[in-house]
Amino acid sequence: MTELPERRLMLVHAHPDDESINNGATMARHAAEGGHVTLVTCTLGERGEVIPPELRHLSGAALGGHRLGELREAMAALGVTDFRLLGGAGRYSDSGMMGLPDNDDPGCFWQADVDQAAGLLADVILEVRPQVLVTYDDNGGYGHPDHIQAHRVAMRAVELAAARGWDVPKVYWNRVPRSVAEDAFARLERDLPELPFDKSASVGDVPGVVDDERITTAVDGTAYAGAKAAAMRAHATQITVADQPYFVLSNELAQPLFTTEYYELVRGERPAGREDDLFAGVTTGEPS
């Protein structure tokens, strides 16, 4: 086996850009500190809405190819070299928003056999042997079918990998504490007149917001705020980032850009207090 760094973090996301919005600071921090960061993206986001007018001609496979280029640029900004598409490029396509006819496409991720897709992901887990895996909750954070499916596949892959020889010690779901979101939106309302955006989103538009007591871990990525913003800017078809810590998606509603990123530990021993390190309590080192 190729020698691996002591700390090994894996993230499972639905589309290019999800990783930078949710975990960009965490990824940049662990990469800079010498950890091995593996990103597995389940689709190329072929049905995403395109923001820049000059790129709106892109759709389907052409958009997916463009977004793969954006993903490469984002990973360069974060210092991450190990990023993969589940089953290879084009294996699973974007399913579109929930309730659309796109969900019925037999090639879309929503229609994937969970055990088959999880087996592909388990192969990566067995190769990398992460001590920490990060993904979404069972609602995918906000109900998108690909996010829900990514959750199902990731959690099943952890089970399959354990049966095949690698038990991932800690699994986290992406979260945002409600008090943090409310404070950030209060600041956004004050700052909005100075921003290049006209309207604000609301706390309910942010995926993964939960009551504060659900949060087990807060990763301070302040030192990597610039890297996160650069990674988000790389996903130019999907995100517009202001000079201040705010951004918009295709709905043109301003949201806060969080540089401290929050998690809920769902596999592993829950801490008595709030952790500041995803690897807290984990024995690190080369896997046997």
Number of H helices, E strands in the chain: 6, 12
Torsion of CA 120, 125, 126, 131, to 10 degrees: -170
Q: 232, 233, 239, 237: which is closest to 56 by C-alpha?
A: 237
For residues 232 and 71, is the Cβ–Cβ distance under 8 A?
A: no
Q: Say how many C-beta atoms besides its own lie within 10 A of residue 160's C-beta.
A: 18
Give the three-state DSSP class for 165. coil
Using an 8 Å Cβ cutoff, are 150 and 137 in contact? no
Please, which residues bridge with residue 177 across strands?
A: 210
Q: Which amino acid is at 286?
A: E
* CA-CA-CA-CA dihedral for 10, 14, 19, 21, to nearest 10: -150
Query: Per the annotation, does 102 bind a ligand?
Result: no
**Pick from 281, 287, 235: nearest CA to 6:** 287
For 142, the token pair is 């906000």
Question: Is there a binding annotation on residue 15?
Answer: yes
The CA-based diameter of the chain, rounded to the nearest angstrom, is 56
18 annotated ligand-binding residue? yes
Binding residues: 15, 18, 147
Binding residues for Zn(2+): 15, 18, 147
